[in-house]
Amino acid sequence: NAGVMQNPRHLVRRRGQEARLRCSPMKGHSHVYWYRQLPEEGLKFMVYLQKENIIDESGMPKERFSAEFPKEGPSILRIQQVVRGDSAAYFCASSPDRDRGTYGYTFGSGTRLTVV
């Protein structure tokens, strides 16, 4: 079991470009969570998805950010028209149906987005 896989590990984008971050949950996990970590800060919840459904996006900025978790393939966090303030580490975590994160998630290693 390869764990939660995130790619790319590092991503550099110029202001105004689009960033696409991918997350493949652990095998058998159908719940995916995205978190953002700004420099010198803790992780902030962004969005919670199950297959083909967004369950809670209360932490997502209202504009430019979107997430999906299709029936097939990885979950995608998409940031359109990136700005310098989007520079951060973005983490994905997953949990199985029977657990719902009660025993703590399995986190990926994160994608560090740098906007230049």
Partner 1 sequence: AQTVTQSQPEMSVQEAETVTLSCTYDTSESDYYLFWYKQPPSRQMILVIRQEAYKQQNATENRFSVNFQKAAKSFSLKISDSQLGDAAMYFCAYKVGGTSYGKLTFGQGTILTVHP
Question: Do residues 4 and 32 touch, judged by C-beta distance below 8 A?
Answer: no
Q: First CA to last CA across the chain, in angstroms?
A: 36
Per-residue contact flags (x/-) with partner 1 for residues 44 to 83, judged by CB under 8 A: xx--x------xx---------------------------
Nearest approach in angstroms of CB 72 to partner 1 is 23
Cβ nearer to partner 1, comparing 18 with 56: 56
With contacts defined by CB under 8 A, name the span among 12-20, 69-77, 78-86, 104-112 that binds partner 1. Answer: 104-112
Among 73, 81, 103, 116, binds partner 1 (CB under 8 A): 103
> Number of helices (H) and strands (E), helices first, in the chain?
0, 11
Burial 61-70 (b: 16+ CB within 10 A, else e): eeeebebbbe
Cβ nearer to partner 1, comparing 44 with 51: 44
Residue of 116, 102, 93 whose CA lies nearest to 45? 93
Instruction: Tell which positions 10-29 bind partner 1, by CB under 8 A.
Output: none
Among 88, 93, 113, 115, binds partner 1 (CB under 8 A): 93
Strands 10-13 and 111-115: parallel
Cβ nearer to partner 1, comparing 14 with 102: 102
Residue matched to tokens 């009660």 = 102
